[in-house]
A and B are shown apart, each in its own frame.
Chain A
Amino acid sequence: MADERADGASEGELEQNDGQQFGRLPETAAERTVEGRASREAVVDYFADRFGIPPETFDDYTFWEKGAGKIWIYGGDAPSPISIEAIGMTCLRTRQEHWKPTTDFVQRFGRHASDCVIDLEREEARRFAAGEDQDLEWWNGDWGYLIAAHEIAGEREPLGIGLYVHGELRSMVPKGRQRDL
C-alpha cells in the first residue's frame, strides 16, 4: 500500500524524516513536508479498505510517525514535532510494501472491523495467543494481514494480527504479549 506520491511537493523540497522525534501525519499527501511520510487520509483509508473500520472511528485521534514508518495513534494534546518517549500507542508499520497493523491496535480498535477478520475456535485461538503458526485451509478470504478473533463472553473479540499465506495463519503476536492459556 503505497501512499500517493505525485501531487505532493517534489522530493527535493521535502525534509528528511527525523527518527528521534514524533511528527504528526499531514492531512493529505499534498500537505506532506517530510519525505515518504504517510498521510492521515491514507492511514484511515487503509483501515477502512482493508478491515472495514469506519473512518469516523478515528475522528478524535491524531496519527504520528517516529522512526522509519512506525505510526502511533493518540487522543491527547501535543504540538508537532515533539521529542518524548511515547505518544498514545503504536498502530501501524508503513514505509514497506504491505502495511502492518500492531496487535495492540487490533485489540483496541479491531472490534470496529468487518472485513479480513478470521474467527477462530477456542483451540485455534489458544495457539494464536501462544504465537504459533497453524494450517487453516478453510479460510477463503484475502491473503495478507488479518485480524484474528474469537468469541469471549458471548461476543467477538480481536486477539491480534496474523499473516495468512498458503493456507497458513502465522501469529504476529509479539513475544512479550504471547501467553500460554
Chain B
Amino acid sequence: MEPLERYRPIIDDFEAFLAACERPLGNAVRVNTIKSSVERATAALEEEGAEYEQADWNPRVLRLETDSPGSTWTSFHGFTHGQEEVSAVPPVVLDPEPGERVWDCCAAPGGKATQLAALMDDRGTVVANDNNLGRISALRFNAERLGATSLAVTNDDARNYSLERFDFDEFDRTLVDAPCSCEGTIRKNPDALDNWSEGHISSVAGIQKGILRRAIQATREGGTVVYSTCTFAPEENEAVVQHALNREDCRVVDFDLGLEHSPGLTEWEDDSYDESLEQAARIYPHQNDTGGFFVAKLEVTA
C-alpha cells in the first residue's frame, strides 16, 4: 500500500480509501445482451439458486454471491461475462450506436470490446486490436463465447495503427483502455503494487500518449474518444489527456455517470492541467465498493 501514500493530498477520506484497497473485491458479471435479456439472465440465475444484486447505475451489471461465477448455466450459455463493475464504465461513456465503426485499440481480453458490440446490438463494426498475440487468443475465445459477430480482431501496435487493411478510413468512436500501472486493481491482485516505481509510470505514460494521439487521429471530426485506465497516477491520466489536448484537435467533454466519483485533477505536484479536465472522472474503491478507474471523454474537433 506504500506507493498509494502519494495520493493522500488528492483523495478525500484517505483512510476509507486505504481500508477499501485492503478488502478483496466481490464477483461481478455483465449480462451479455447479445445472447440474453437482463430479465432472462436473472431468471436463469434465480432458477439455479445464485444470489445477485443489480448495480443501480447499470442494470446489466450484477454483483454475484458465488465463489465460482464461471460455473453457472448463465456463464456456459454466454448470458453473463465476468467483468469488474467499474470496468463496465468506459463503454457506457463511449456510448456507441448500432451500425457505427468503433475502434477498441487495446482490447484484450475483450470484456469491453464485447460490451461495445452488445451496446450496438451487435450491428456495425468493432475493430478489436491488441499488440499482444497471447492475449488475443483470450479475446477471440471471449468474443466467440459471447456470440459477437461484429468484431474484427487485429494484432498491431496501436501507436502507428494503419487503417489501410479496411475499406473505410476513420472511426466514429474509439476506446483507449490503456495499458497502465494498474494501481486500481489492488483489490483483485494483491501484488499489483509489487513492481511499482515512478520510472515504470513514466514509461507507460509515454506509451499511453502515443496510443491516445493515434486514436484521436483515426477518429472522424465530431467523433468521440474515451480514454480510461485502472490506475490513480495523474501522470497516466490527466497528464496523458493534457498531452493530447496540446498536440491533437480535441476537447474534453462532460458525461453523466451514475456512480459516485471525484472530478479529474487540474494540478498535481509541479504540473497543472486544463480546467476542462475536471470533467473527467476518478472512481475510487471506497466510493462504490469497486476497483479504481479513471475515465475521460474527448470530442474530436477536426
Task: Report A's interface with B, CB cutoff 8 A.
Answer: 60-61, 73-79, 82-90, 102, 104, 107-108, 129, 152-155, 157, 159, 176-177, 179-181
Contact = CB atoms under 8 A, between A and B. Distances in A.
Contact of A152 (B44, B147, B165): B44
Contacts of A179: 70-71, 75-76
Contacts of B151: 76, 86, 88
A180 B72 CA distance: 9
A79 B152 CA distance: 12
Q: Which of B143, B150, B155 has the most CB of A within 10 A?
A: B150
A6 to B, nearest CB: 32
Interface string B123-141: 1111000000000100011
B166 A73 contact: no
A76 B150 contact: yes
Interface of B: 34-35, 40-41, 43-44, 47, 70-73, 75-78, 101, 122-126, 136, 140-141, 143-145, 147-155, 165-168
A104 B143 CA distance: 10
Contact of A83 (B43, B150, B165): B165
B152 A78 contact: yes
Given A77-B167, A179-B75, A90 B144 contact: yes
Q: Which of A73, A89, A90 has the most CB of B within 10 A?
A: A89
B155 A85 contact: yes
Contacts of A84: 152-155, 165
B122 to A, nearest CB: 6
A59 B166 CA distance: 22
Given A60-B123, A84-B154, A84-B165, A73 B40 contact: no
26 contacts: A75-B122, A76-B124, A76-B125, A76-B126, A76-B151, A77-B168, A78-B166, A78-B167, A79-B167, A82-B166, A84-B152, A84-B155, A85-B140, A86-B151, A89-B144, A90-B144, A102-B144, A108-B147, A152-B47, A152-B73, A153-B40, A153-B41, A153-B44, A176-B141, A179-B75, A181-B71
A181 B145 CA distance: 17
A26 to B, nearest CB: 18
Contacts of B144: 89-90, 102, 104
Given A75-B123, A76-B150, A155 B140 contact: no
Contacts of A82: 165-166
B157 to A, nearest CB: 14
A177 B146 CA distance: 12
A142 B76 CA distance: 26
A128 B34 CA distance: 23
B266 to A, nearest CB: 39
Given A85-B140, A86-B153, A88-B149, A77 B166 contact: yes
Report, nearest first, the 10 A-B pairs whose CB atoms are least far apart.
A76-B125, A108-B147, A153-B43, A86-B153, A104-B144, A85-B153, A75-B149, A79-B167, A153-B44, A88-B149
A79 B166 CA distance: 6
Nearest to A122: B73
Nearest to B126: A76
Contacts of B123: 60, 75
A157 B141 CA distance: 20
